[in-house]
Amino acid sequence: MRKIILAVMAVAAIGFTSCNNKTNKDNPAVDSTSIVTSAAELAGIDADNLTKDLAEKIAANNPEAVQAVIEQAKAKIAELLAKGDEEAAKVYQEKISTFLKDNADKIKAVVGEENAAVNTLISAITAAPTEAAAAVEGAAEAAEGAAEDLKNEAQKKADETVDAQKKKAADAIDGAAADAKKKLGL
């Protein structure tokens, strides 16, 4: 009887172990440091991937591919700005711009010094989001100032209305008191 019980326990232990291994394979552990928490972080990762791709195209000495990747970067920045995500566009632009500045000589060696299309793309990438972000920040500050002015004006009007209602109520009370005194003969 003991042999049968031990055999059943051994089979059960193997069964539990194999089920546990299957669960771990299907649901791998998640590294908490690899979770992206914002659109800006995602844009940074996209920019890193694009710079790696651009470095590969430069190393392969392929001018058409280099130009295509730079155009892709410009399109991504425009897409982020169109979505209204200026912070992500700024992060993306800064990473791409830094790479382009650091590798300008290599890029010019691959595409040629006089390639106007690539030079224009590089200029657009290094300038566009920074200017847009500055304009957005200026507009936000102006909107905050306007909102504060409206708040102050509304408070002033509310105070004036309260004062007028207090005066009207006081006059009504005084009038009612005077009428009451007259009726009482005081």
Cα separation, 10 vs 22, in Å, equals: 18
- Name the helix (H) or strand (E) containing 81: helix 63-82
pTM higher than the cut 0.75: no
Q: How far is residue 145's CA from residue 71's CA, in Å, rounded to a whole number? A: 38
Render each residue's pLDDT in the chain as its tens digit; 186 residues: 667 776 767 777 776 665 555 555 555 555 555 565 677 777 778 778 888 888 888 888 888 888 888 888 888 888 888 888 788 888 878 888 888 788 877 877 777 766 666 667 677 676 655 555 555 555 556 666 666 777 888 888 889 999 999 999 889 898 888 888 888 887
Give me the pLDDT at residue 165, please.
92
What per-residue confidence (pLDDT) applies to 126?
66
C-beta separation of 121 from 108 below 8 A? no
pLDDT at 146: 65
What's the pLDDT score for residue 138? 59
Element (H, E) at 120: helix 116-184
Q: How many other CB atoms are found less than 10 A from the CB of residue 5?
A: 9
CA atoms within 13 A on the CB side of 114: 0
Residue 98: what pLDDT? 83
Angle at 57 between CA 55 and CA 60, to 5 degrees: 110
**C-beta of residue 127 within 8 angstroms of C-beta of residue 77:** no
Joined together, the tokens standing for residue 164 give 């007028």
